[in-house]
Amino acid sequence: MHDTRRTRLVLGVLIVVALLLITIDYRDGGSPVIRGLRAVGTSVFGGAETAANSASTLVGQGQDSTSQQVRSLQQEVLRLRAELSRAQLSQAQYAQLQRLLSVAGKGGYRVVAATVIATGQGFQQTVTLDAGSRDGVRPRETVLNGQGLVGEVTAVGRDTCTVMLATDSSEQVGIQLAPGGQLGWVTGPGKTSSGSGELKLQVLDTHVTLTPGQQLVTSASVHDRPYVPGVPVGTVSRVVNRAGALTSRALVRPYVNFAALGVVGIVIEPPKHSPRFSVLPPRPHATPTPTVTVTVTPGARPSPGSTPSGTSPASPATGG
């Protein structure tokens, strides 16, 4: 059983099979062989992942929101709970679902809520959700959560679907800049050491002046696939213009924390009208800083131990 002809034959056969699969998939990703294999893998491992995930609780982040609108949506939350077929949602998931529903309500998206049950291996920036074709999910649909754009559905099984995240370096999302509506696109950074890297933005209009803090939403794709309009993407964090470039470039910090994805929503029905920039979170304004000017009245007798009498009324002035 050491190194005989038979053992080498086994190794050779396995390697040839693997190379064959690689070749088939490399040349034609949609070949029936690969699709069949993937369907088998999805049905086999998707169930296992769902089962494994139902036992564990996901670590997510959530904040208590006291928004009135959110309170009014609690009935729908209960209904969606049943859709999620979970006996109990964790506190974090509950908060995420609330935010998701508020975003979906603002934008007019009809969403199917789902949770992340598996994460891609290696350099793939993909996740698996526990909603599939039985829930009405189809390929090339937008995935968002309460913070913004998450990604795009790429493959759908019966009970699971695979989402390619917006941070994948092969993913390109068409965007609109918030005030002016200039068009551009963002590309994912791929897998980075920080887990959630910055997207690369290119704007077609070279005359636009990109400033840090500018907000981005998705622009509508053709037939709203894969991206529905109006989903918040992120804010410009750094401008990296190069002289002579055809496009204006910048780095975009995404709204979504891709390191802590929990409850997400799949947009199964696009809005009837483009929500434009209404879904965006309020842009942080510069807050006025009060300053106090003290003038000394000439001729006033200085009286030690007492407060200066000639104090002018405080005049507010905007600073910063």
Helix 91-107 to helix 74-84 angle (10° resolution) is 110
Q: Is 41 in the site for other proteins (CB under 8 A)?
A: yes
Min separation Cβ 289 and other proteins, Å: 37
Stretch that binds other proteins, among 47-55, 204-212, 280-288, 297-305 (CB under 8 A): 47-55
Q: Is 19 in the site for other proteins (CB under 8 A)?
A: yes
Per-residue x/- track, 136-155, other proteins (CB under 8 A): ------------------xx
Contacts for 177 with CB less than 8 Å, ≥ 6 apart: 184, 203, 208, 210, 214, 215, 216
Q: How far is residue 167's CA from residue 155's CA, in Å, rounded to a whole number?
A: 17
Backbone angles phi, psi at 84, to 5 degrees: -70, -10
Among 93, 115, 142, 160, binds other proteins (CB under 8 A): 160
- Please give, one letter per residue, the 3-state secondary structure of 166-199: CCCCCCEEEEEECCCCCEEEEECCCCCCCCCCCE
Stretch that binds other proteins, among 44-52, 93-101, 204-212, 239-247 (CB under 8 A): 44-52
Q: Is 292 in the site for other proteins (CB under 8 A)?
A: no
Query: Residue 119: CA atoms inside 13 Å, Cβ hemisphere, count?
Result: 12
Q: Is 26 in the site for other proteins (CB under 8 A)?
A: yes
Q: What is the dihedral of CA 267, 269, 270, 273, to 10 degrees?
A: -140
Nearer to other proteins by C-beta: 122 or 304?
A: 122
Q: Is 240 in the site for other proteins (CB under 8 A)?
A: no
- Give 301: exposed, middle or buried? Use CB within 10 Å, 0-12, 13-18, 19+: exposed
Nearer to other proteins by C-beta: 23 or 318?
A: 23
CB-CB contact of 211 with 237 (8 Å)? no
Per-residue x/- track, 192-221, other proteins (CB under 8 A): xxxx--------------------------
Min separation Cβ 296 and other proteins, Å: 58
Stretch that binds other proteins, among 93-101, 107-115, 189-197, 236-244 (CB under 8 A): 189-197
How far is C-alpha 256 from the chain's CA centre?
Answer: 4
Q: Is 169 in the site for other proteins (CB under 8 A)?
A: yes
Among 67, 69, 72, 170, binds other proteins (CB under 8 A): 170
CB-CB contact of 115 with 264 (8 Å)? yes
Among 88, 121, 303, 306, binds other proteins (CB under 8 A): 121
Among 218, 168, 196, 234, CA closest to 61: 196
Among 62, 151, 157, 254, binds other proteins (CB under 8 A): 157
In this structure, are strands 110-119 and 183-187 parallel, antiparallel, or unpaired? unpaired
Residues in touch with other proteins (CB under 8 A): 1-3, 6-7, 10-11, 14-15, 17-26, 34, 37-38, 40-42, 44-46, 48-49, 52-53, 56, 116-128, 154-155, 157, 160, 162, 164, 168-170, 189-195, 259-260
